Structure 1
């Protein structure tokens, strides 16, 4: 999908949504930010530094984490080894790797699954493992691609809490998902892409009340749900 004049800003400590119908350019935009696609025009900045020419692995080292829509856990590795695999390439002492791994497992309530293989995990457990592993690199920003896909309602609430925790860690979060209600609920503000361009941007309340956003994407009967 070709995108044009897409100007997105994510600050640390806030959650920003990227919404739009299929083919709107959400995935293309995500891929350009993380370095999976090279833009033919435009630039990507990280804390004021132009990283447009940096490969994906360097962007990750600079502080951009990415959680793909597809399952990314190593299926034949345990939860513990999934996290350690990331920590081992960071060049930190073994004792520190073990400490940080244990801390992440406890924070994301997966310590009891430490020896479970990736293929044994439920959708919610897999997501928590993937996010814990992404945080092992201590990113400043993290992009979540369809975090609510393929998980049950209880796990959806779990992911919502985790995103809130990421915000409290002063991590900037950019999230895209077809579950509009859940995405709008967790975001401070969102961008609505349509046919490769930003159609609207603003808070959940603004987008839910905007006639053009309702007509082209949300639907005329859309109601903004609130969770307890």
Structure 2
């Protein structure tokens, strides 16, 4: 989803080169993106953040209100911390910059389709540093986690450390099934879309330091 036809063609060429990826639609703005998702029900959406009319962040919010929404990956030439944070808070499951090499782009789309978070470590570190500098976000995050029981706070702290369900189970001496249940309930309780948002919340609230 991009307002530049050359960028859309470039992405289509890359994605269509893999037999495992099918391009089912493209859009020039956020409104068309939402329409495409409703019509074609893709597994993954590459969403440009800055588009005329309805921008990518607004479109991402709309898509994530749908039942069983696709994974939305924010795709832009702008790697500003504020853009990354806004996209993830809107429900994007990851963030990529447009110069991502073709092979990496293909692999990351497949990773997103499997339900995993897509974000470079460098972007993740910058994002966490930016988000924890905001007094408003920090205070809001602390108020949110204050509603959680001790065990519930440990789970997002583990997510903030980038642990998988299996690794969380080992750290907290739980079964992997129990961890999955905790994560699912936590997302519902905190009205979060995915694990990335829970991890950000943990960093903003200082839960990672609490674990240290």
TM range (shorter): 0.3 to 0.5
Task: Report which of the two has the higher share of helix.
Answer: 2
Higher relative contact order (CA 8 A, sep 6+): 1
Task: Report which of the two has the higher share of strand.
Answer: 1
TM-score by length of 2: 0.34
